């Protein structure tokens, strides 16, 4: 996961089945967070898993399976 702008984070997840990366974003403002189109989080992104539980998610992607 990388911070692309202050308070805006992006991460990628490669789908072996589809053959390309899916990207997700988290916008953080104070105590509020919004996840946009989130693919699975990797072990390296584990700290964000706790945040994900309280996140509002704007998932507009088709099912990844």
User: pLDDT of 8-36, one tens digit each?
Assistant: 989 888 899 999 999 989 898 887 888 88
User: Is residue 49 scored above 90 in pLDDT?
Assistant: no
Q: What angle do CA 17, 11, 40 make, to 5 degrees?
A: 50
pTM over 0.75: no
Residues 6 or more apart from 39 whose CB is under 8 A from it? 11, 12, 13, 15, 22, 23, 24, 61, 64
Query: Which has the higher per-residue pLDDT, 27 or 56?
Result: 27
State the pLDDT at residue 1: 83
């Amino acid at each position: 996961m990388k911070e692309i702008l202050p308070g805006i984070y992006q991460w990628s997840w490669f789908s072996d089945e589809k053959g390309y990366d899916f990207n997700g974003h988290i916008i953080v403002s104070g105590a509020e967070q919004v996840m946009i189109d989130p693919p699975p989080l990797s072990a390296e992104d584990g700290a964000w898993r706790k945040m994900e539980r309280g996140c509002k998610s704007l998932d507009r992607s088709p099912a990844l399976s």
